[in-house]
Amino acid sequence: MDFDWLFLVEIFLAGLGAGGLYALTALAFVLIYKATRVVNLAIGEMLMIGAYLCFGLATAMNLPMWLAIVVAVIASGMAGAVLERVAIRPMLGESPIAVFMVTVGLASILVGVVELVWTSEPRRLPEFMPNTPVMIGEAFVPPKVFYGFLVAAALIAVALTVFRFWRGGVALRATASDQQTAYSMGINVPRVFSLSWTVAAMIAAIAGVIVGAVGGISSTMGVFGLSVLVVVIVGGLDSVLGALVAGLFIGVVESLAGGYLGGEYKLLATFLILIVVLMVRPYGLFGTHEIERL
């Protein structure tokens, strides 16, 4: 039998590239979840806002691309803080479902804003990544995917280091593990909430710029968030490690399904995995198993 190994390897590598972006976005998601216990369905839309801000700054204001990215990321961070303060903070103590629905509403608002400002037509981000083809062994990897993966991996490493050693990161982890104790140790918990949304929005914006550079931007790119949702559920909502592993895993599975079965099988494959994981390990691969008591 004549099996095209090269094709498999190329698809696998492309999947890893996409998986890197999933892992990065999932990291932003987990950050919010750990600190504030909010399941943020608007993560895909935060990605989109980041990408569109960058697009707007680069085209309408003619900033150089690197500056546009930096400004867009900072602006997204501020937007994240504002969202948290205006829409999420008042919901403190409400049922998780209510907060979840608030983020659904936010997602809708963000999509509307983007369509209002930039219309719903798909756009292309200006080119900013090297264009020379990348070969790993004999396999060809699209350069954008390759550099996107590098950026994602680097950013994840930076984020993890920061949360390990920086004071704010320690405060965040303390809040995540026990809110009340964190409070009584003098940690300003509401500020940690703001911080987590700000940082998550910034990470999402960077992911958005990369996703936009690879596949173009449009007002429906929030669908990316659905796959990220699968990633975090599979990995376990409160597990950073889970987000990273599941991100790569889902990326590869999606790529294999798309490459061998056809594009419409991508979402189907990821969601079938989701169903299986929910049936077998409802709290995800690495998530904390919460025990319910009466």
Q: Which residues bind another protein (CB under 8 A)?
A: 39, 87, 90-91, 94, 96-98, 100-102, 104-116, 119-120, 226, 229-230, 233, 264-265, 267-268, 271-272, 274-275, 278-279, 282, 292, 294
Of the pair 19, 236, the CB lying nearest another protein is at 236
Rounded (5°) CA angle 133-136-138: 90
Minimum separation from the CB atom of position 214 to another protein (A): 23
Angle between helix 5-36 and 167-177 (nearest 10): 80
Of the pair 159, 269, the CB lying nearest another protein is at 269
CA distances (Å), origin 128, targets 65, 69, 201, 214 = 7, 10, 22, 11
Please tell me the distance from the alpha carbon of residue 256 to that of residue 231, in angstroms, as a whole number.
16
Minimum separation from the CB atom of position 151 to another protein (A): 29
Identify how many contiguous H helices and E strands the chain contains and give both numbers.
11, 2
Token pair for residue 274?
């989701």
DSSP line for 164-176: HHSHHHHHHHHHH
Minimum separation from the CB atom of position 281 to another protein (A): 10
Buried b (16+ CB within 10 A) or exposed e, 149-168: bebbeebbeebeeebeeeee
Token pair for residue 267?
């979402």
Please tell me the distance from the alpha carbon of residue 36 to that of residue 80, in angstroms, as a whole number.
13
Of the pair 137, 263, the CB lying nearest another protein is at 263
Minimum separation from the CB atom of position 134 to another protein (A): 33
Of the pair 60, 275, the CB lying nearest another protein is at 275
Minimum separation from the CB atom of position 292 to another protein (A): 7
Q: 294: which DSSP letter?
A: -
Of the pair 93, 186, the CB lying nearest another protein is at 93
Please tell me the distance from the alpha carbon of residue 245 to that of residue 236, in angstroms, as a whole number.
10
Of the pair 204, 231, the CB lying nearest another protein is at 231
Please tell me the distance from the alpha carbon of residue 180 to that of residue 187, in angstroms, as a whole number.
10
Minimum separation from the CB atom of position 190 to another protein (A): 17
Please tell me the distance from the alpha carbon of residue 207 to that of residue 199, in angstroms, as a whole number.
12
Q: 42: which DSSP letter?
A: T
Of the pair 151, 231, the CB lying nearest another protein is at 231
Of the pair 169, 259, the CB lying nearest another protein is at 259
Helix then strand then coil, in percent of the chain rounded to 5, is: 75, 5, 25
Minimum separation from the CB atom of position 268 to another protein (A): 5
